[in-house]
Amino acid sequence: MRTLPRIGMMSTMENRIAKTAWCRSYQAALKVANYLLGYQTPEVLEGPGCVRQLPRAIAAHGIGRVLLVCGPHLYARGAADSLMEALAAQEIEAHVFCDLQANPTDRDVEAGYASFVENACEAIIAFGGGSPLDCAKAIAVKAAHPTKPVTAYQGVLKVRTKLVPLFAVPTTAGTGSETTIASVITDAATHHKASINDPALMPTLAVLDPELTVSLPPHVTATTGMDALCHAVESYTNATYCTKLENDYARRAVRLIFENLPRAYEQGDDLTARQNLQRAAFYAGRAFTRGCVGYVHAVGHTLGGLYGVSHGLAMAVILPKVLRQYGPAVYPRLAELADACGIKANTTAERALTLIARIEQLNEQLGIPAGFDCIRDEDIPQIIAWADAEANPLYPVPVVWCRGDFERLIGKLKVTTER
């Protein structure tokens, strides 16, 4: 009787075919399961100064004590002062936890959870960029499962418990975490950065106040905006899980980012551009909540965990390189995004390649480098292993990659002097 060869004995082509078949089968099953999950969108407060309306909304839930999770520098600058004053006026007791890193770790989560318990908090306000929002979500997970390490819930649909109310106040326009079911946490011992993915992590309410983003440095405006662009592009090019709603959100997000990111970068006090970018980040976050991300995020997470590379910067640098490496398989979907942005060209391939070129031009305009000088050769096997484990079989990427494909990409990322 003839037996199938072990994966390690297969040819590269056989390995690719087998891996692709397994991933597509998994994704087909998950697509069906997605219809049972009942994706929700949080309530939204939107407009200049609307953060001061949040305490009234919290009080309406009968909540009297909250944990405010905020980045240390943001809190030291007084960015949360107006919110704290409004909470006090509403007689809501707020306890601040701001001892967290740019890439929050499981240790940060444990410390935040200890503060949550010590102060008998009933809800959490996540105030800041992606790091405080991710950390706040993970603290809520820990509060629901106090006997296990939070890293035990990294993966898909492992939380399965209703969490305490979570109010998300983004001060950047990038992560979209205010409308996602994900929280990205780094294991402090191994530096492995991975997501917790569960509908329970969807915030109760999101506050989109452009005044909170006006003071962002241009570089942060640039990288967070490119993070949102990456969410929209990856979710749209994945195609498999998205419904008409997510596809529409992704197209809107891409158009808004191209139209407004350069303005916000050059004129930080442009409230219209800031508001449009917050809306774009929200749309993109909602799009990838169902549609998922892809190899840009899978590889980018490893660079954040190993080297502390900021998430938005990693997304900006990696995105056009991954899109070019996908080749013709991604052209039809990219061409549709090009159409949404008013890009004119004769063929599908020309429109797709023009969109990629526009992303590269935007990176250059925003002062974003073409690569990284931190990647060590000895780390490449670990980068590939972590990225592959994160992406496959969950992410419905246009082309399923094997080891050699990851090696090609990483080789391009190490080039820092030329595009």
Looking at residue 12, its pLDDT comes to 73
What are the extents of the domains in the chain? 14-39+217-413, 47-213
Q: What is the mean pLDDT of residues 231-253?
A: 97
Q: What is the mean pLDDT of residues 295-315?
A: 96
Report the greatest alpha carbon distance in the chain: 78
> How far is the C-alpha of 414 from the C-alpha of 369, rounded, in Å?
11
Selection from 389, 400, 402, 396 nearest residue 154 by Cα = 389
Encode pLDDT of 34-59 as tens digits: 888 878 899 999 999 999 999 999 99
Please, which residues have CB within 8 angstroms of residue 250's CB and are 6 or more apart in sequence? 232, 233, 235, 236, 242, 283, 284, 287, 291, 337
Fold held by 47-213: Rossmann fold (3.40.50)
Looking at residue 10, its pLDDT comes to 54
Q: What is the mean pLDDT of residues 369-380?
A: 96
Burial of 118 (0-12, 13-18, 19+ CB in 10 A): exposed
Q: Say if CB 389 and CB 317 are below 8 A apart.
A: no
Residue type, 312: G
Residue type, 332: P
pLDDT classification of 394: cutoffs 50, 70, 90 = very high
Give the SS3 label for residue 249. Answer: helix
Domain 14-39+217-413 has CATH 3.40.50.80: no
Looking at residue 185, its pLDDT comes to 95
Looking at residue 34, its pLDDT comes to 87
Assigned token pair, 205: 């309410």
Residue 6 above 50 pLDDT? no
Residue 418 above 90 pLDDT? no
Q: What pTM did the predictor assign?
A: 0.92
